[in-house]
Amino acid sequence: MTVANYKSWPFKEARKLQKRYENLPEAPVRFETGFGPSGKPHIGTFAEVARTTWVRHAFEFLTNRPTQLIAFSDDMDGLRKVPLNLPQQEMLAENLGRPLCYIPDPFGESESYSAYMNNKLREFLDKYNFDYSFQSSFQAYRKGDFNEGLTIILNRVEDIKAVILPTLSEEKRADWSPFFPICEKCGRIYSTRVVGYRVADNAIDYVCDREEGLVKSCGYSETTSILNGRVKVGWKIDWALRWYAYDIGYEMYGKDLIDSAKLSGKIVRIMGKQPPVGFFYELFLDEEGRKISKSVGKGLTIDAWTRYAPLESLLYFIFQNPQQAKRLYWGMVPKSVDGYLMDLYSYEKLEPERRPDSTIWHLFNKGTNVPSFQSSITFSLINNLISAVGTDDIDLIMEYVRRYDPSMDRYLSVIEDLVRKAMNYYRDIILPNKQYRTPSAQEREMLRHLRIKLSESVAQDEKELQTIPFDVARTFKVSPKDFFKTFYEVVFGQDRGPRFGTFIRLVGKAKMLDLLDKAIGNE
């Protein structure tokens, strides 16, 4: 397989970027991710940085060009509403409309609200070993990174308005401006309105009289420079301003921002540069299929995921089909871990030239330090074992696992980690939701028949053992699917469970007979 034939989505994206830069100088190609510091980083933040990193690595592999990832925090953005999960609600309400970088930290740990959130972002990215350069919007404006772009925007304001105004409602068009001056009296940004442009002076006239939601205004009017952090531009303009100032070559965004990306692309062209190669991703959904935005419902955070499963399994989940909406809930964890383990098992057998098309190659930084794993142990198997045995004794569970796969000691650290995390998953997620169902008379008879067939069987092979429940279903003229559903609900207290033959090989025939006795009420 040649480099040109790699078909994983990061390589497809990297080739778009390669085409753009093939005749340009060998300067670093810049990738960007954006962070809104009104709240703490979350799985969506993690996913965007991870996906961008995978494209970055694929691009480096194709081209050997230097690259840089800029993690940009829009901390000049104003606070539009008070987040309900933060302390000092009254203080935050008094600061509505002010830039996040000028609002006190409600936790009292940093110099400002956004400084606290920015620190959390850096801690977050460092914890997961991302390679990035942090850039604060506040610092970028203050040190003049955007001055050249701001001057161009002022000079081309009518051209920019011609792009933006048709997308706005009638009542918003009259007062719209690309600039948001920071009121020199009250410090608010969303209460100000531009009333004049002074192109020769790089300045604008404004009045602080806009009322928007709970944001107050003070009536002050003034002329102010557009340079060095005295103003901010609206976020669609700000996106184009970043692309212009930092020569961004690649940026991802959620599906809900496709139209905004198109507008920003038009604006950066008006400014005299090309927009970056873009890629939209679908958003995460909850278990009911509703959109998850700033936070992941039901407590599913990255820290929670890594309590129950390896971090690589989350990366595996995020890697798959980014332009397809994904339901993100607790039930996805075992499936994602098993998918990761299956790919890890297969990776070692791949020819070296085929490995870059494997998910594992991307998860482990271009295939570096990939752990060896050639075991048939799965996370679901361990969970089913813990569920059946009903113990917190890790040594006992490891003994059962070793009986199933005597070669497991070669992968001891991986399997021990899986067992410990599966214990947490069982205690917190499975056990509270177990509901053992009392079987009907016919169901009890079917399970009794299953017990008899199993006790009489001399089969040792998983496949032979697996035929027993199918024979029982056939005898009672019920579908295998319905019979297994009964088996899982009555014996395990859950709607899904292990393969019958595999489970018996894992725990032994005697344990399975004991479980059936308890389920059907045998003394």
Extract the residue ranges of the chain whose pLDDT is less than 50.
1, 295-299, 523
Q: Is residue 15 part of a domain?
A: yes
Q: Is residue 252 part of a domain?
A: no
φ, ψ for residue 276 (rounded to 5)?
-70, 165
Same-domain status, 126 and 52 = yes
Is residue 103 within 8 A of residue 92, CB to CB? The reply is yes
Residues 6+ apart with CB under 8 A from 514: none
Is residue 506 within 8 A of residue 378, CB to CB? The reply is no
Give 3-state DSSP helix, strand, coil % of the chain, rounded to 5. 55, 10, 35
DSSP string, 476-515: TT--HHHHHHHHIIIIISSS----HHHHHHHH-HHHHHHH
Domain boundary among 405, 432, 459: 432
Is residue 96 within 8 A of residue 80, CB to CB? The reply is yes
Q: Is residue 23 part of a domain?
A: yes
Same-domain status, 427 and 504 = no
Is residue 34 within 8 A of residue 12, CB to CB? The reply is no
Strands (E), 36-138: 67-73, 133-136
Is residue 390 within 8 A of residue 383, CB to CB? The reply is no
Domain boundary among 88, 112, 143: 143
Question: How many beta carbons lie within 10 A of that of residue 62, not counting itself?
Answer: 17
Angle at 492 between CA 332 and CA 328, to 5 degrees: 10
Same-domain status, 489 and 361 = no
CA distances from 104 to 110, 184, 259 (A): 8, 18, 34
Report the amino acid identity of residue 270.
I
Question: To which H or E segment does residue 442 belong?
Answer: helix 441-456
Report the amino acid identity of residue 430.
I
Same-domain status, 187 and 110 = no
Same-domain status, 423 and 447 = no
Q: Is residue 270 part of a domain?
A: no
Cα–Cα distance, 141 to 147 (Å, whole number): 7
Is residue 204 within 8 A of residue 257, CB to CB? The reply is no
Same-domain status, 346 and 387 = yes
Q: What SS3 class is residue 361? A: helix
Q: What SS3 class is residue 104? A: coil
Q: Is residue 274 part of a domain?
A: no
Q: Is residue 268 part of a domain?
A: no
Same-domain status, 456 and 364 = no
CA distances from 171 to 164, 165, 210 (A): 14, 11, 13
Find the CATH number of the domain harbouring 513. 1.10.10.350
**What is the domain range of residue 221?**
149-153+165-233
Same-domain status, 428 and 456 = no
As given in the structure block, the two tokens for residue 248 are 């961004």
The secondary structure of residue 300, as a DSSP letter, is -
Q: Is residue 291 part of a domain?
A: no
Number of domains in the chain: 4
Report the amino acid identity of residue 431.
L
Question: Bridge-partner residues for 248, per DSSP?
Answer: 30
Cα–Cα distance, 480 to 496 (Å, whole number): 13
Same-domain status, 426 and 333 = yes
pLDDT at residue 41 in the model: 87
Q: Classify burial at 313, counting beta carbons within 10 Å of its beta carbon; exposed 0-12, middle 13-18, buried 19 or more.
A: buried
Cα–Cα distance, 344 to 361 (Å, whole number): 10
pLDDT at residue 298 in the model: 46
Same-domain status, 137 and 19 = yes
Mind listing the pLDDT tens digit for each residue in 302-325? 888 999 999 999 999 999 999 998
Same-domain status, 218 and 195 = yes
Find the CATH number of the domain harbouring 34. 3.40.50.620
Mind listing the pLDDT tens digit for each residue in 429-464? 888 888 889 999 999 999 999 999 999 999 888 899
DSSP string, 374-385: -----HHHHHHH
Domain boundary among 188, 214, 233: 233
Cα–Cα distance, 312 to 332 (Å, whole number): 14
CA atoms within 13 A on the CB side of 349: 8
Q: Is residue 263 part of a domain?
A: no
Closest of 101, 127, 104, 91 to residue 37, by C-alpha: 101
Name the pTM for this structure. 0.90
Same-domain status, 177 and 137 = no
Q: What SS3 class is residue 251? A: strand
